[in-house]
């Protein structure tokens, strides 16, 4: 699996289209169909859903991460998410066709890609469990176990949104 990820990152470096975003720019917006996978070389992004009354941050990405609007990518339907740069961000975009061609190069690539998809499903289940936990401090603890460097990359207000709490509550529970 690690070999596959290393090879996939090489694909991004050689075939990926560079995109530079300034703070507040979007990789994808609601109602656009996702057909890329992005490798974040520098910076940070957040994926969020816009309800009638507020934004709901559901995922972050920073240096070394892959990100996209997964539901749209696999369904070929318009995205319900936005992916926004939280600061100056450089990504490499690899088109879905290039990824599919890379996966088809070998049985090993196909198997590793399947494992990667399985990991994404597990991450999504973890996120769903996070949303069900009532205790703000438990939600924070679970997220920090998975992403101990989160506060080094992401502004507090977005982490608070991700954890379904106010920035003030997050600040208070971090002190303990």
Tokens of 134: 């009532």
Looking at residue 176, its pLDDT comes to 67
DSSP 77-94: SB-SEEEEESSSEEEEEE
Residue that the structure tokens 């070929």 belong to: 76
75 near 34, Cβ under 8 Å?
Answer: no
pLDDT 10s digits, 137-153: 999 999 999 898 889 99
Per-residue pLDDT at 174 exceeds 90? no
Confidence of residue 10 (pLDDT cuts 50, 70, 90): confident
Domain locations in the chain? Answer: 12-105
Q: What was the pLDDT predicted at 2?
A: 77
CATH number for the region 12-105 comes to: 2.60.120.10
Answer whether residue 42 shows pLDDT above 80: yes
Average pLDDT of the residues in 116-131: 89
């Amino acid at each position: 699996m690690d070999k596959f990820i290393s090879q996939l990152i090489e694909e991004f470096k050689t075939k990926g289209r560079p995109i530079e975003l300034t703070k507040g720019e979007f990789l994808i917006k609601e109602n656009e169909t996702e057909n890329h996978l992005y490798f974040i070389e520098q910076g940070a992004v957040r994926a969020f859903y816009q309800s009638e009354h507020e934004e709901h941050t559901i995922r972050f990405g920073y240096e070394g991460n892959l990100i996209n609007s997964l539901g749209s990518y696999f369904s070929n339907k318009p995205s319900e998410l936005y992916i926004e740069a939280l600061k100056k961000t450089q990504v490499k975009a690899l088109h879905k066709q290039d990824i599919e061609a890379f996966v088809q190069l070998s049985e090993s690539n196909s198997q590793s890609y399947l494992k990667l998809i399985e990991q994404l499903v597990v991450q999504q289940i973890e996120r769903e469990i996070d949303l069900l936990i009532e205790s703000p401090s438990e939600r924070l603890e679970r997220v920090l176990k998975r992403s101990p460097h989160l506060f080094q990359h992401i502004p507090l207000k977005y982490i608070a949104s991700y954890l379904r709490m106010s920035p003030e509550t997050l600040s208070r529970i971090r002190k303990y």
